[in-house]
Structure 1
Amino acid sequence: MYALSSQIRAARALLGWSISELAARANVSRNTIGLMERNEQARNYSSRQKVAEALEAAGVRIFPREGTQGAGVRFMTVEDEERALRENRAPPSHER
């Protein structure tokens, strides 16, 4: 999943994470997160993928723009968490 700049900011706010926290969890630099949130590093797919994976591992689901529905983020439901577990994207909530 590819995270848009606005989704990164929204997910970080939803989790109450600082830029440093997200950078550490995604294994990217703080500067990279800042650039992404300002949409100044739009071409770096690898870093955006790492960020999206870190957010999903924390229980945030990223929704792409689809048809008339805008892009967004929200906490995963139990069903979403089970789907992520099957796809090996997130640890069980009791292990976080």
Structure 2
Amino acid sequence: MQNASAVPVYDVEVAYSSADAPLGLQKFHILSPTGSVAHYREIKCPGVGQLLAQPRADDARIDIRVTISFTDARGVRWIRDGAGHLSKDPGV
């Protein structure tokens, strides 16, 4: 993950899904600014681990989609969908 802003973001939720099913949710209280450097966090989602552990052909691709939502320093909730589009969270 990367937080290119100058201030932290809060209540970060990372939702993982495969092409046909949700895999789980991972939450972080805060993500500090990282500038242009990615901030690596261990994926702690049992559904992702189970999908990766399934037998498959060596050349098989795994499609894992990630949706990230967070609250900015002004209290606005944002969502970045699986296609990478960032918008205000309509559910708030």
TM over 0.5: no
Larger radius of gyration: 2
Structure showing the higher strand proportion among its residues: 2
TM-score class normalised by the smaller sequence: under 0.3
